[in-house]
């Protein structure tokens, strides 16, 4: 993911259906900041979010990857994703999240992975379960309480 992807990412992150559990959809400038943050993660950690496309056509599907998150004073590595609504329910989030889990273990050498999920987001809870993450606890983050799904790798 680079700044060359701004049009796709601004559309994805600006979609209120995609960011329904966020305080608000992102503006184009916020999407640019998201990309810049991601580029910085690669420089600093060697991993971040992947730009997802269909193998056959190259059509933009969404993003998925590993990012550090602060959870009640501890830094956790989260697998997270956003998928365009036209691709919901087709298994893309699960496939991408499963690949991220493998990458976390086999390439990044991580020993633990979490997913931070809004309690209303049942679809994301199902994805977490499908990739082997189990409900661990609820955690307070600024402005809300999220469910922490986790797994040792």
Per-residue tens of pLDDT for the chain, all 153 residues:
999 999 999 999 999 999 999 999 999 999 999 999 999 999 999 999 999 999 999 999 999 999 999 999 999 999 999 999 999 999 999 999 999 999 999 999 999 999 999 999 999 999 999 999 999 999 998 889 999 999 999
How confident is the model over 6-48, as pLDDT tens digits? 999 999 999 999 999 999 999 999 999 999 999 999 999 999 9
H-type alpha helices, 2-143: 6-13, 28-45, 92-106, 122-130
Token pair recorded at residue 30: 């916020």
Measure the CA–CA gap between 150 and 139, rounded to whole angstroms: 12
The model's pTM is: 0.92
Q: Per the structure, how many domains does the chain have?
A: 1
Q: What's 127's domain CATH number?
A: 3.40.630.30
Tell me the CB-side half-sphere exposure of residue 47, using CA atoms within 13 A. Answer: 21
- Angle of helix 28-45 relative to helix 6-13, nearest 10 degrees, comes to 110
Q: Is residue 109 packed enough to be buried (19+ CB in 10 Å), middle (13-18) or exposed (0-12)?
A: exposed
* Confidence at residue 141, expressed as pLDDT on a 0 to 100 scale: 86
* Confidence at residue 114, expressed as pLDDT on a 0 to 100 scale: 98
Which residue range forms the structural domain that includes residue 135? 3-152
């Amino acid at each position: 993911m680079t700044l060359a992807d701004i049009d796709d990412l601004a559309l994805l992150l600006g979609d209120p259906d995609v960011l329904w559990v966020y305080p608000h959809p992102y503006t184009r400038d916020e999407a640019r900041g998201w990309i810049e943050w991601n580029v910085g993660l690669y420089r600093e950690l060697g991993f971040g979010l992947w730009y997802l496309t269909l193998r056959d056509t190259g059509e933009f599907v969404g993003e998925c990857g590993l990012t550090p998150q602060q959870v009640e004073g501890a830094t956790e590595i989260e697998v997270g994703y956003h998928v365009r609504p036209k691709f919901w329910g087709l298994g893309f989030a699960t496939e991408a999240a499963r690949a991220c889990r493998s990458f976390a273990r086999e390439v990044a050498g991580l020993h633990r992975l979490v997913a931070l999920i809004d309690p209303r987001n049942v679809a994301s809870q199902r994805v977490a379960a499908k990739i082997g993450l189990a409900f661990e606890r609820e955690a307070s983050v600024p402005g809300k309480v999220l469910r922490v799904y986790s797994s040792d790798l």
